[in-house]
Structure 1
């Protein structure tokens, strides 16, 4: 079987299958023409993980419709669905509990998401590179432009996050200044007591 066909049955991209072959994870031979023929008899796809996300609780009903669309897509492609993850949270939040739990699992080979921004708004390519290194991949179903209201909610989340950090920095600076002032006062008290 050709490596491209093997990749489809496994539920990964051709590039990922090629990397797996280069690392020796797939038994295959390369013909003089360059075609890679997989010699493994039985293919056991690890399955796919569907990931859905909305930015706020008011859009929670959209999670089910996202999941249903992706489920129908996976069935049409012949993918074995292992997980369906539904999460409410900002796309710029880098500590979404359900996504982190999914990324820590090893028993799937592909993450399916409807739009790139459903998985993450920031660092998508870094995430893809790291998953590829683990022999996994990401498949984005719809590459159309994202909705502006979701983008605005994430923009507000970014501004709020930076304001909180700025406030925290100012607060820490005030604490440091207060600590220095207290130390100076204590030093002056000790100096005046020593001179008496």
Structure 2
């Protein structure tokens, strides 16, 4: 985004934003080829951060859980995402009180959720999550 948009978002003047940039206080900001200061949009950057959610139904499937998480992390990395969180959980897909999934969904450190199949996330009501 332009420095002027950054200033509006931060509730400061353009000059204040410019001074922040000159002092190196805006992470990732740079001068483009046309002489404009460009500030990375945190919303767009957050979309590149991925969380991996792996789930199996029983403790007997723990080895499957590990392999599932590894496959999804490898997939996300190959697709250009930065995996910032991997959550592994044992529990039924119809159980809507999965603590690890709830914590993951409440987190704001990722913008893309990677699951092997939609039934790993939930058995019913997947439409609520689909974009």
TM-score (norm 2): 0.64
* Residue aligning to 1:72: 74
Match of 1:61 in 2: 63
Q: Per-residue CA shift, 1:88-137, capped at 9, x if unaligned?
A: 00000000010000011112111100011001001111133xxx5xxxxx
> Unpaired runs of 5+ in structure 1?
1-39, 133-196
Pairwise CA RMSD: 1.5
Larger Rg: 1
Question: How do 1:35-114 residues align onto structure 2 when only pairs under 5 Å count?
Answer: 42=40, 44=42, 45-46=45-46, 47-114=49-116
**Aligned residues between the structures:** 90
Q: Which of structures 1 and 2 has the larger relative contact order (alpha carbons within 8 angstroms, sep 6+)?
A: 2
| Distance (Å, rounded) in 2 between the aligned partners of 1:43 and 1:108 | 14
Aligned counterparts, 1:1-196, within 5 A: 42=40, 44=42, 45-46=45-46, 47-128=49-130
Deviations 1:8-59 (A, max 9, x none): xxxxxxxxxxxxxxxxxxxxxxxxxxxxxxxx75355221110000000000
**4+ residue runs of structure 1 moved beyond 3 angstroms?**
none
- Give the structure-1-normalised TM-score: 0.43
Structure 1 or 2: more helix by fraction: 1
Tell me, in whole angstroms, the C-alpha distance in 2 between the residues paired with 1:127 and 1:42.
Answer: 27
2:96 partner SS: coil
